[in-house]
Structure 1
Amino acid sequence: MLKTTLMAAVAAACMTVIASGAARADLLDDVMKAKKIRIATDMAIPPSGMMDSAMKPTGSDVETAQLLAKDWGLEIEWIQTTGATRIPNVQTNKADIIVSTLSVTPERAKVIDFTKPYAALQSVVGCLKTATVKDWADLKDKTIAVSRGTTQDTELSNMKDRNLKLARFDDDATMVTAAVSGQADCVASSATIVNQIGVKNPGRVFEPKVPIRNFDLAIGVRQGEPKMIEKLNEWIAANLKNGKLNEIYKKFHGSELPPEMRG
Structure 2
Amino acid sequence: MRKGLMSKTTKHTLALTVALACLAPLVSAAEVKGTLKQGELSIGSDLTYPPYTYLDQKQPAGFDPEFIQLLGQQLGLKPRFLDTRFANLILGVNAQRFDVVASALYVTPERAKQVDFVSYLKTGSSLMVLSGSDFKPQQPQDLCGKRVGSIKGASWVPKLNQVSAEYCLPNGKPAIESREFPTSPEATQALLSRAVDVQMEDPAVAKITVEKLQGKTVISSNELIYPVVIGLAVRKGNQPLLEELTEALAQIKQNGSYGQLLARYNLAEPTAQEISTALGN
TM-score with structure 2 setting the length: 0.74
> Following the alignment from structure 1 to structure 2, what is the Cα–Cα distance between the partners of residues 243 and 176?
36
The answer to whether the aligner puts 1:67 opposite 2:78 as a matched pair is no
The answer to whether the aligner puts 1:205 opposite 2:217 as a matched pair is yes
Contact 1:47/1:192 (CA < 8 Å) preserved in 2?
Answer: yes
The answer to whether the aligner puts 1:217 opposite 2:220 as a matched pair is no
Aligned to 1:231: 244
Aligned to 1:24: none
> Following the alignment from structure 2 to structure 1, what is the Cα–Cα distance between the partners of residues 46 and 53?
6
- 1:180 CA displacement: 4.5
The answer to whether the aligner puts 1:147 opposite 2:166 as a matched pair is no
> Following the alignment from structure 1 to structure 2, what is the Cα–Cα distance between the partners of residues 82 and 217?
17
Residues 50-69 of structure 1, C-alpha deviations (whole Å, 9 max, x = no match):
112x2221100111112222
Aligned to 1:36: 40
Aligned to 2:51: 47
> Following the alignment from structure 1 to structure 2, what is the Cα–Cα distance between the partners of residues 229 and 141?
43
* Aligned mate of 2:121, from 112, 119, 122: 119
Contact 1:145/1:168 (CA < 8 Å) preserved in 2?
Answer: yes
The answer to whether the aligner puts 1:257 opposite 2:268 as a matched pair is yes
Contact 1:125/1:211 (CA < 8 Å) preserved in 2?
Answer: no
C-alpha distance 197-179 of structure 1, shift in aligned 2 (>3 A):
farther
* Aligned mate of 1:87, from 73, 87, 90: 90
- 1:212 CA displacement: 2.9
> Following the alignment from structure 2 to structure 1, what is the Cα–Cα distance between the partners of residues 155 and 259?
23
C-alpha distance 49-208 of structure 1, shift in aligned 2 (>3 A):
farther
- 1:119 CA displacement: 1.2
C-alpha distance 247-181 of structure 1, shift in aligned 2 (>3 A):
farther
The answer to whether the aligner puts 1:172 opposite 2:184 as a matched pair is yes
Q: What is the RMSD of the two structures over their aligned residues, measured on CA atoms?
A: 2.4
Q: Secondary structure in 1 aligned to 2:249?
A: helix
C-alpha distance 69-259 of structure 1, shift in aligned 2 (>3 A):
closer
> What amino acid sits opposite 1:214 in the alignment?
P
Higher CA-based Rg: 2
Residues 15-50 of structure 1, C-alpha deviations (whole Å, 9 max, x = no match):
xxxxxxxxxxxx953538621111011110000011
Contact 1:41/1:62 (CA < 8 Å) preserved in 2?
Answer: no
TM-score with structure 1 setting the length: 0.79
- 1:106 CA displacement: 0.5
- 1:173 CA displacement: 2.8
C-alpha distance 90-135 of structure 1, shift in aligned 2 (>3 A):
closer
> Following the alignment from structure 1 to structure 2, what is the Cα–Cα distance between the partners of residues 29 and 237?
17
- 1:231 CA displacement: 1.5
Q: Secondary structure in 2 aligned to 1:227?
A: helix
The answer to whether the aligner puts 1:248 opposite 2:261 as a matched pair is yes
Aligned to 1:189: 201
> Following the alignment from structure 2 to structure 1, what is the Cα–Cα distance between the partners of residues 187 and 226?
20
* Aligned mate of 2:109, from 102, 106, 110: 106
Give identity over the alignment, percent.
Answer: 24
Residues 232-256 of structure 1, C-alpha deviations (whole Å, 9 max, x = no match):
11111222233322322332x3x24
Q: Secondary structure in 1 aligned to 2:87?
A: coil
Contact 2:128/2:206 (CA < 8 Å) preserved in 1?
Answer: yes
C-alpha distance 32-80 of structure 1, shift in aligned 2 (>3 A):
closer
Once the two structures are overlaid, the 10-residue window that deviates more, 214-223 or 155-164, is 155-164
- 1:223 CA displacement: 0.6
- 1:142 CA displacement: 2.1
Deviating above 4 A after TM superposition, structure 1's stretches of 4 or more consecutive aligned residues are 258-261
Q: Secondary structure in 2 aligned to 1:37?
A: strand
State the aligned residue count. 231
> Following the alignment from structure 1 to structure 2, what is the Cα–Cα distance between the partners of residues 212 and 145?
15
